[in-house]
Structure 1
Amino acid sequence: MAVYFYGCMSLDGYLADKNHEINWLHELGSVEETSYESFYQEMDVLLLGKKTYDEIKDMDNLEDFYGPTENIVFTHEKGLESPLFKFVSEDVVEFVESLPKDKNVWVVGGNTLIAPLLDKGLIETMYVQVAPVLLGEGVPLFTQKEGKQLFDLVEVKQYGQFAELILKKHLP
């Protein structure tokens, strides 16, 4: 199993603004201007937090974006239903460790999922796109508790206004 993070942050390290919104991201470009499609074709399982799910659940053509994968939303809210998403209240680390070893897992967001997976060393590859915007405050992308973690910079690409850093977990 390989666990990936693929997402975008502001220059000052925020995943979302102070209102937990990402409209600033759409002002700068679109998914068609990134490596999203080729990346997504390699994924089997998507992990989302409830706030991320709330941001995307009313998108047009949702099935076109999320139809081919198993989509898991981590939440404590009861009674949620969707034909495209499964809702769980499990520990994200235990859930990921229980997945079949032949699956590619994409941690879509947010930092409440990313942090514990980083703490356990489970995220192997990160595609971090940096948008040319300073938000000043908001939801930070990285909030892990463990100290220094080294990654190797594998590649840098430019897509329109976005710089994409491809990083792999550093192996000693």
Structure 2
Amino acid sequence: MTMAGEAAVFLAVSLDGCIATRDDGVDWLNNVRGEGDNGYGAFYSTVDTVVMGRRTYDWMMEETDGEYPYEGKPGYVISEDRRRPTEHVSFTKSPVNLIQQLKRDGRRIWIVGGSLLIHSLLEAEEVDELILTMAPVILGDGIPLFYKSRVAQSFSLKSTRRYGDFVELHYLKEA
């Protein structure tokens, strides 16, 4: 019998709840004193599948000069655009159906971003874990992590960890 999979959000967020500036910038994270990889490597070793929105994918591919950074792990991009699969990613329109199928297959999924994808999965109650690394920065305006929702959900604090001036908050969805 296959164990049910789980979907985790792992990302950095400003004190005022933003994951990027309005123009998709994350350079503000470079001005925060961290420690090592700020927990990324430990988290990344626990996932076997990555899922992200199209804007996140396009931004990432631009930032990495076209080099896919998650090679060896199946990748899925949620997009209304009709695109052909690449060597590393498949494109789909239905994030909820995808996550449900991956969970049935026993996958541990990293929801890389962005906020609209996270919102749709929270609305469908498909997010099992939130691992938020808080940066001591107030952006004033930016892309919010959370949007207003029709669905109230509760999470329990599993752990906290400090990485220099970053604080990681690890939450599990309550049953």
Structure 2 alignment gaps of length 5 or more: none
| Alignment match, 1:57 | 61
Instruction: Verify: 1:7 aligned to 2:14, yes or no.
Output: no
Partner of 1:135, secondary structure, is coil
- What is the CA distance between 1:130 and its match in structure 2? 0.5
What do the CA deviations read for 1:51-107 (whole angstroms, capped 9, x no partner)? 1112211416945x301211111112234664222222x221111112243110110
Q: TM-score, normalised by structure 1?
A: 0.88
Match of 2:130 among 104, 119, 126: 126
| Alignment match, 1:91 | 94
Give, in whole Å, the separation in 1 of the partners of 2:173 and 2:90: 29
Partner of 1:37, secondary structure, is helix
Give, in whole Å, the separation in 1 of the partners of 2:24 and 2:161: 27
Q: TM-score, normalised by structure 2?
A: 0.87
- What is the CA distance between 1:116 and its match in structure 2? 1.5
Give, in whole Å, the separation in 2 of the partners of 1:157 and 1:14: 20
What do the CA deviations read for 1:113-160 (whole angstroms, capped 9, x no partner)? 111211121111111011111100111001152243211111110112
Match of 2:156 among 148, 152, 156: 152
Once the two structures are superposed, the pairs formed by residues 30-49 of structure 1 within 5 Å of their partners are 32-49=36-53
Matched positions, count: 169
Instruction: Verify: 1:167 aligned to 2:171, yes or no.
Output: yes
Partner of 1:68, secondary structure, is coil
* Percent of matched pairs sharing the same residue: 28
Q: What amino acid sits opposite 1:69 in the alignment?
A: K
Match of 1:107 among 86, 103, 111: 111
